[in-house]
C-alpha cells in the first residue's frame, strides 16, 4: 500500500508536533519531513518530493507565501495552508498564496473539545488536496494554454436586442486566481453589476472582498441585505462568508439557511434566485472548483433565457463544478479562462448577434 507522503511546515514546535501526531495516527499517511520556516520547507520539498504539504503563513527566515511561490515554480506540490492568521495583513498573504497555487486553506486546531472534529476534517481535506493536479508556474501555464485556446474556441456574441443587466460568477477551489483573471480582463466601460460567490470559510473570508478590491480597479464589497441591485452597477458584490446571497425583486438578500452541497454561500442558491428573478437578462459563469455546486443553477439560468459560460478543463485547477455543468448541458459556451472576461465584455455591449 502506497502511503500519502506529507511535509509539515509550521514554526510553532507545539503545533507542528500536534499536526505530525494527527497525521501519524493514520496508517495510510507518512510524515516525510518537518520544517519551521519557509527556506527549510523548500529544501525538504526538493529533497523528499512529498505528495502534499501543510503550510503555515507567518514564519521566520522565509514566509509561507514566499515558500509557496517558490515551490509552485520549481517543485509543484499540492499545498494546504494551515493558519491561525485572522488580521487583515496576514489574511491578504493567505489569499496571495491561494493565487500563487496553494489549493486550500484550513484554520489551526483550537486546542479544545472541537479538535476531534477538526482532526478528521484535517485529514480528509489533506487527502483531497493531495489529489489536485498542480503545475509549474501555475498562472503562466494558464496564460500559455489560453493563448492556444483563443485560436480554436469561438467567442460568443450577444443575442440581438438582448439587454443583459447583471453578471454572476461562481467559483471554488482555484477560484481566487481565476476570479482575478476574469475581473482584470473586463474593460473600464463594463457597467453591469457582478455578483460573486466563492467558497472560502468564515475565518479566512473576512477580508477577501477588500483584498480582491485591491487586485482590480473595479470596486468590490460584500453584499448588504436589502441593497438594490441597481446601485451595484460596475461593482463586484460578494456573498459574505457563511451567508447565502440571493436576488429577489431587484434587491440583494442574505440568509443563513441550510448549506447546499455542503456550502454556504452556495453558487446554486444565487443562480437559482437569479433564474427566477431576472434569468433572461443574466450572464452567469461557473469557474474552477471541486464538487457540483452551481451546475443546476447555471442550467436554470440558461433555461430562463440567460447566457451561461463554464470554464474549460484545460484552464481549471479543479474541473469539478464546470464539468458537472457541461454534463448537464447548462453552459451555452465552455471557454478557457482567458476568454471569459472578454466574453462578458462582449455580452454587455450593444449590437451583437445571436450565436448559441
Could you give the C-alpha distances from 73 to 65, 105, 148, 180, 280, in angstroms and in order? 12, 19, 21, 19, 43
Q: How many CB atoms lie within 10 A of CB 63?
A: 20
Torsion angle in degrees (nearest 10) through CA of 274, 276, 277, 282 = 40
Q: Give the pairing of strands 282-286 and 251-255.
A: unpaired
If 0-12 CB within 10 Å is exposed, 13-18 middle and 19+ buried, where does residue 354 land? exposed
DSSP 257: P
CA separation for the pair 26, 111 (Å, rounded): 20
Coil/strand/helix, residue 71? helix
| Catalytic center residues | 172, 199, 293
Amino acid at each position: 500500500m502506497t502511503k500519502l507522503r506529507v511535509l509539515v511546515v509550521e514554526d510553532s514546535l507545539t503545533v507542528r508536533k500536534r499536526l505530525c501526531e494527527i497525521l501519524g495516527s493514520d496508517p495510510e499517511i507518512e510524515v516525510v519531513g518537518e520544517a519551521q520556516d519557509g527556506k527549510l520547507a523548500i529544501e525538504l520539498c526538493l529533497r523528499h518530493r512529498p505528495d502534499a504539504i501543510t503550510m503555515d503563513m507567518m514564519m521566520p527566515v522565509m514566509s509561507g507565501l514566499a515558500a509557496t511561490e517558490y515551490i509552485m515554480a520549481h517543485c509543484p506540490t499540492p499545498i494546504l495552508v494551515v493558519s491561525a492568521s485572522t488580521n487583515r495583513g496576514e489574511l491578504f498573504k493567505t489569499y496571495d498564496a491561494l493565487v500563487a497555487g496553494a489549493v486550500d486553506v484550513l484554520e489551526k486546531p483550537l486546542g479544545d473539545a472541537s479538535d476531534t472534529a477538526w482532526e478528521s476534517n484535517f485529514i480528509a481535506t489533506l487527502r483531497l488536496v493531495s489529489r489536485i493536479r498542480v503545475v509549474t508556474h501555475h498562472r503562466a501555464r494558464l496564460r500559455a494554454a489560453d493563448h492556444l485556446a483563443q485560436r480554436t474556441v469561438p467567442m460568443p456574441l450577444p443575442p440581438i436586442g438582448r439587454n443583459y443587466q447583471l453578471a454572476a460568477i461562481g467559483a471554488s477551489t482555484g477560484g481566487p486566481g481565476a476570479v482575478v483573471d476574469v475581473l482584470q480582463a473586463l474593460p473600464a466601460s463594463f457597467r453591469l453589476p457582478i455578483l460573486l460567490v466563492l467558497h472560502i470559510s468564515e475565518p479566512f473570508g473576512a477580508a477577501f472582498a477588500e483584498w480582491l478590491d485591491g487586485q482590480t480597479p473595479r470596486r468590490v464589497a460584500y453584499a448588504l441585505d436589502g441593497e438594490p441591485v441597481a446601485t451595484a452597477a460596475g461593482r463586484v458584490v460578494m456573498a459574505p462568508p457563511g451567508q447565502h446571497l440571493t436576488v429577489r425583486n431587484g434587491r440583494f438578500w442574505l440568509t443563513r439557511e441550510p448549506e447546499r452541497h455542503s456550502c454556504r454561500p452556495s453558487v446554486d442558491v444565487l443562480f437559482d434566485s437569479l433564474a427566477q428573478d431576472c434569468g433572461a437578462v443574466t450572464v452567469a459563469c461557473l469557474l474552477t472548483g471541486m464538487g457540483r455546486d452551481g451546475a443546476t443553477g447555471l442550467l436554470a439560468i440558461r433555461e430562463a433565457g440567460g447566457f451561461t459560460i463554464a470554464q474549460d478543463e484545460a484552464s481549471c485547477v479543479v474541473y469539478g463544478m464546470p464539468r458537472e455543468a457541461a454534463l448537464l448541458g447548462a453552459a451555452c459556451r465552455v471557454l478557457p479562462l482567458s476568454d471569459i472576461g472578454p466574453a462578458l465584455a462582449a455580452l454587455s455591449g450593444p449590437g451583437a448577434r445571436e450565436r448559441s
